[in-house]
Structure 1
Amino acid sequence: MSIFKLSWKYLIDKPLNTGLNVLLLALGLSIITVLLLVEEQFESKMNRDATGIDMVIGAKGSPLQLVLSSVYHVDFPTGNIPLKEAQKVSRNRLIKNAIPMALGDNYEGYRIVGSNHDYLSLYQAELSAGSAWDKPFEVVLGSKVAKAKGFQVGDTFIGAHGIAAASHHHDQQPFQVVGILAPANNVLDQLIVTSVESVWYAHDDEIGPEKLDQEVNKIGFPEADQDRELTTVLIAYRNPMAAIQLPRMINSRTSLQAASPTFEITRLFELLGIGVTVIKGLALLIIFIAGLGIFIALYNSLKERKYDLAVMRAIGAGKSQLFLLILLEGLILTFLGAIGGLMLGHFFLFFIVITNEQGLVSGLNAVTFIGKEWWIIVYALIVGIVASIIPAWNAYKGDIAGQLSK
């Protein structure tokens, strides 16, 4: 029988001890796996969703809240801003492009975003069916919205006021699906996009038939025959000088607020970093306890098997083979723990994603494998070597004659 098979036989001879050690190590490694997967994908997703957006203009309030609600659509808007004032600011020579947005409505929790065709171009969106909107109350669905609700081109639905799913419905005019976006793995996947005019008219008490028949603005700011409001404007700078001058000018000289997505998300990561460090510390503590458990199990097992090992020596097994036997037991335990930890980690992330289909984590992929996960296996094997090295050395230095004489 090979050394590997013999090590395996010893382990399965005590299934409860073996299973407990493997499970404890797997739990610690699963926490680290989830953190690695979220950290790797979350940062990539945040940067991807903010591509091409240098600044966000909105109502006074929390700049982080403004960025989260306007760019990532995961928080409540800070309020509305006058259309005319937003247009005036957007004419600044330092601004290359300005995309107006009207927010505040939803359909069963999926946000309805009023904008123009530039918003689709910002993410280089492609349509898998239909076309972009031309008239009021025509909408384009993100791929996840269409899949979750089973909508096809030509279907209609009633929007609701507010961000939460249980809100007052705007039942005077239904939205019609005219296009469905191809999966893009960005924020568009979970949005319902339409014109700014559609959001305006949804809140009007009466809508004239002439408004429903006219074409909406596909680029730039919409035209308004009365005082209208926007929620936010997404800005792209013309040159680096704009990053220095524009935010200060807007925040000090207007009633609007300017916020930088890059700066606010960096600050958010710094705030979350403390919590992540604490969780990592907890995971390492669990792994340490698991390693200690493996050490104790192997050490006690060695005491029980001293006579068996002495007999093996007597029939021809070398010291190095006994050393390798104990070492393999520790490596097998930690390898199984590493595989179990990786599987548990991916399962936990999958559970988090399916229970948060409309949040920041909705775009994360639980079945992807990142390079850093190889280090989890390496780390687990190191724990196995450290935990088994003393028992293996004791087996190597064992007294054959003394054990057999007993």
Structure 2
Amino acid sequence: MIRLSFAYLRDRALNTALNILLLALGVASLVILLLFSSQLESRFDRDAQGIDMVVGAKGSPLQLILSSVYHVDIPTGNVPLDTVALLRRQLGVAEAVPLALGDSFRSFRIIGTEPAYPKLLGADIAAGRMFAAPMEAVIGAEVARRTGAGLGQRFVGGHGMSTKESGGDEGPKHEETPFIVVGQLGPTGTVIDRLILTQVQSVWQMHGIASPEAAHDDEHHEGETAKEHEAHVSPAEVTAVLVRFGSPIAAVRLPGFINRQTNLQAAVPAVEVSRLLALVGVGLDAVRGFAVLLMLTSGLSIFVALLTALKEREADMAMLRVIGASRAAIIGQVVSEGLILAGAGAALGLILGHGVIAIAAANIEQLAQLGLSGLSFHPGEAIIVAAALTIGLIAALIPAIRVLQADIAETLANAR
């Protein structure tokens, strides 16, 4: 009966291919949405682990989170270096880690920070050591893989945060202040894999900004007053400060205090990511509804195709019953056609869904940065496949029952 089902499907090859393709498009759409939403949410959670609050310049809180936690946007501005000390003095703050952004190397961002930053994200040194002096750099696993950089490698950063879309071209190069790689982090599956870490002083040095200690120790220029000397020295700033709370009280009190009482801005990653996913979710729900409708339409198409085909094959079905085929065998033959169509559509849909995710991640830098992968599988895909097979089963049962209800003698008489 299975061989007979394949023979009938081959006999109407074009109709079979169209039904499979229609169902595959619905399955692929659902798979793409499932992989995108699940991997996006998972990556957001991993990248923000250990970070309870971000403090930066006034502006969009979402932009502050995207630029300082996920490193996929431009910063809102800089804040005074005193902000770090201010936050560390606050009751309930367990850790405050500064970030200085603004430069990159081959589309990978150079981050001025402290050794506490990789520890915050659970990253460990896999080779070499942590930076201990200005212009020493520690590279993430993805940076090492894609640039081929290793310990002892020297490189020059460029101004600006370039992307693959811009050709990976940075702005003016800081030729006079090259970096040297002294360490490499092990892979973590988080944003730190694609970052280059160095001291905050390195970023200041690249831009001709004296550290507070150096500015204080410098002798005044001849004829300058202390006030005039301070005016011509660029202030030492950082881009943002990542904060980890030590008590629930700080989580309740500190963000509101900073936003109301200071010129700074405090943003909580969990809150902003929830808002972002809610906004994205509206669009995803609409596309998901369309995909479900597409699958139901494909089920209706399979039903119509089988009903039409069985009407043409009524004499064949009647002859099978005459030569001894059981009712179960007849139903099994018809149902197998529906399941074969549904199974082929589901398999093709899975391939298309994962293929689209893989191609998008390979060609869209932002998606690659968010960690999207076509090689990851989600348990929910099994539910999608089961739904597709159920649609095929239901679409085939009604025509199968109709065949059994037909009068054999009348059918054979009409066929003569």
The correspondence of residues 135-146 of structure 1 with structure 2, limited to 5 A, is: 135-146=133-144
Q: Deviations over 1:99-133 (max 9, x none)?
A: 01101111122111110100011122122322211
- Report what 1:218 is aligned to: none
Alpha carbons of structure 1 residues 339 and 402: separation in structure 2 relative to 1, 3 Å? same
Q: Classify the secondary structure of the residue corresponding to 1:353.
A: helix
Contact 1:356 1:362 in 2 (8 A): no
- Report what 2:206 is aligned to: 202
Match status 1:111 vs 2:109 = yes
Contact 2:100 2:240 in 1 (8 A): yes
Q: Deviations over 1:211-232 (max 9, x none)?
A: 9xxxxxxxxxxxxx97300000
> 1:355 aligned to 346, 358, 363, which one?
363
Alpha carbons of structure 1 residues 94 and 199: separation in structure 2 relative to 1, 3 Å? same
Match status 1:331 vs 2:339 = yes
* Deviation of 1:185 (Å): 0.3
- Report what 1:315 is aligned to: 323
Q: Classify the secondary structure of the residue corresponding to 1:139.
A: strand
* Deviation of 1:201 (Å): 0.7
- Report what 1:76 is aligned to: 74
Q: Distance in 2 between matches of 1:67 and 1:276?
A: 22
Q: Distance in 1 between matches of 2:251 and 2:61?
A: 16
Contact 1:354 1:362 in 2 (8 A): no
Q: Deviations over 1:141-199 (max 9, x none)?
A: 11111111111111122111111243222222111111121111001111111111111
Contact 1:66 1:259 in 2 (8 A): yes
Q: Distance in 2 between matches of 1:342 and 1:8?
A: 22
> 2:404 aligned to 358, 373, 396, which one?
396
> 2:196 aligned to 172, 182, 192, which one?
192
Q: Distance in 2 between matches of 1:201 and 1:263?
A: 35
Alpha carbons of structure 1 residues 403 and 361: separation in structure 2 relative to 1, 3 Å? farther
- Report what 2:304 is aligned to: 296
Q: Distance in 1 between matches of 2:315 and 2:35?
A: 47
Q: Distance in 2 between matches of 1:272 and 1:334?
A: 30
- Report what 1:157 is aligned to: 155
Q: Classify the secondary structure of the residue corresponding to 1:177.
A: strand
Give the aligned residue type for 2:182.
V
Contact 2:100 2:200 in 1 (8 A): yes
Q: Distance in 2 between matches of 1:61 and 1:176?
A: 35
- Report what 2:389 is aligned to: 381
* Deviation of 1:365 (Å): 3.1
Match status 1:268 vs 2:279 = no
Give the aligned residue type for 1:405.
A
Moved more, 112-121 or 350-359: 350-359
Q: Classify the secondary structure of the residue corresponding to 1:72.
A: coil
Q: Classify the secondary structure of the residue corresponding to 1:73.
A: coil
Q: Distance in 2 between matches of 1:67 and 1:25?
A: 39
Q: Deviations over 1:45-91 (max 9, x none)?
A: 11111111111000000011101111000111000001123422331
* Deviation of 1:257 (Å): 0.6
Give the aligned residue type for 2:342.
T
* Deviation of 1:360 (Å): 6.2
Q: Classify the secondary structure of the residue corresponding to 2:69.
A: helix
- Report what 1:171 is aligned to: 175
Q: CA RMSD in A?
A: 1.9
Alpha carbons of structure 1 residues 264 and 382: separation in structure 2 relative to 1, 3 Å? same
Q: Distance in 2 between matches of 1:312 and 1:160?
A: 77
Give the aligned residue type for 2:150.
Q
Contact 2:75 2:239 in 1 (8 A): yes
Give the aligned residue type for 2:356.
F
Q: Distance in 2 between matches of 1:190 and 1:31?
A: 30
Q: Classify the secondary structure of the residue corresponding to 1:257.
A: strand
- Report what 2:228 is aligned to: none
Q: Classify the secondary structure of the residue corresponding to 1:363.
A: coil
Unmatched segments (≥5 aa) in structure 1: 212-224
